[in-house]
Amino acid sequence: MTAIISVERLDKSFGTHAALREVGFEIASGEMVTLIGPSGSGKSTLLRHLIGLTRADRHSHSHVRVLDRDVQHGGRLLGASREQRCRAGYIFQQFNLVSRLSVMTNVLIGHLGGMPRWRSLAGRFTRQEHEAALHAMARVGIEELAEQRANTLSGGQMQRVAIARALVQDAEVILADEPIASLDPRSAREVMEILQRINREDGRTVVITLHQVDVARRYCQRAIALKKGRLYYDGPIAGLTDTRLQALYEDAGLDELGTREDWPPATEPLHAVG
């Protein structure tokens, strides 16, 4: 397997607290992987390292490589051109849209990395770029919201705007940090289905941090589990047996075991994507 993401000996401390210790794994192109673990296990911190939002400990042997590019080495971020950086997209739990701008502009922002500087700073988007944005919005089912301000949307709609932004960016790898943690069950399921389609139909690599095991089981083939900052399990999701899960969550509350009942069954069809 040719690794599209590789992490070696990742160490990260916040003060004296060790958030990540010697974490390492590889992810191949086209995989849909979940990073799983109880809250505070370091999964979100790990994901932020993959895009360079967080730096590993200085002078550690940490090495993060994504899409044939060194993102960081020994706690030092390695610079990259905008073209290279826009090959990886990121989705946040809190969406991180620009609330005063329209949905359309928020989606168009996905183009910024691939545009000439004079056009990006002037905010001059071409007709093709507008069309690509509309197409992405249609794929996630929000085309009718184009002119609305982002802060008027519901959580589920905002997350779809964020996904449309990553689609416009044409990212080969999509990293999603707890994309459904702030959503109601129905929106959560819609967002997960969209991410699954991006993985299946576009062949994009998707890495998602989740804390609900049943969601992970439904959508992901592979799981990387973290416990107290250390790699606990890496393999097929089916291998995360109940006994292993019990050990993984032994210190966590029951609600994190994925026994939530508000998760709706996948019977009613969702509106088409793609």
Long-range contacts of 239-246 (CB under 8 A, 24+ apart): 240/36, 240/213, 240/216, 245/213
Contacts of 79 (CB under 8 A, 6+ apart): none
**146: nearest Cα among 211, 195, 156, 136:** 136
Residue of the chain from 35, 51, 192, 208 that contacts other proteins (CB under 8 A): 51
Residue 83 interacts with other proteins (CB under 8 A): yes or no: yes
Could you tell me if 245 and 227 are in contact, meaning their C-beta atoms sit under 8 angstroms apart?
no
Segment near other proteins (CB under 8 A); pick from 66-74, 81-89, 127-135, 234-242: 81-89
- With CB under 8 A as the contact rule, the residue among 78, 98, 238, 266 that binds other proteins is 98
Q: Is 182 an interacting residue with respect to other proteins (CB under 8 A)?
A: no
- Considering the rule CB under 8 A, would residue 165 count as an interface residue with other proteins? yes
Does the footprint of other proteins cover residue 109 (CB under 8 A)? yes
Interface with other proteins (CB under 8 A), residue from 37, 38, 42, 113: 113
* Cβ–Cβ < 8 Å for 92, 177: yes
Q: Verify binding: residue 90, other proteins, rule CB under 8 A.
A: yes
Q: By CB under 8 A, which span of 9-17, 78-86, 191-199, 247-255 interacts with other proteins?
A: 78-86
The residue from 12, 65, 85, 222 that contacts other proteins (CB under 8 A) is 85
Binding span for other proteins by CB under 8 A among 16-24, 30-38, 158-166, 183-191: 158-166
Exposed / middle / buried, residue 163 (Cβ in 10 Å: 0-12, 13-18, 19+): buried
SS3 200: helix
